[in-house]
Amino acid sequence: MDWQSRIALNPDILVGKPTIEGTRLAVEFIIDLLARGWSTDEILRNYPGITLEDIQACLSYASASLKAEKVYPIPV
């Protein structure tokens, strides 16, 4: 999934949080809905301005972000 065409990073929208292009819906918000057990159909019904591809882009963005995360242990 090419999330780059559907996810926007704009410092003027939600303080630069990643959002679905053309909306003020944060990727974080969509991921949170899914984590709370919302189905994609429920999300699409409640937020008609987005598509299934937008939800998939949110998941792809989250996956790419986690893959790029670096963890550095702190010596005790």
Rounded CA separation 61/72 (Å):
22
31 to 20, 21, 26, 64: CA distances (angstroms): 12, 15, 9, 13
Higher pLDDT, 76 or 28: 28
Give the domain ranges of the chain.
Answer: 3-68
Residue 11: Cβ-neighbour burial (10 angstroms; 0-12, 13-18, 19+): exposed
Going by CATH, does the domain composed of 3-68 fall within 3.40.390.10?
A: no
pLDDT per residue as tens digits for the range 15-56: 999 999 999 999 999 999 999 999 999 999 999 999 999 999
What predicted TM-score, i.e. pTM, was given to this entire model? 0.89
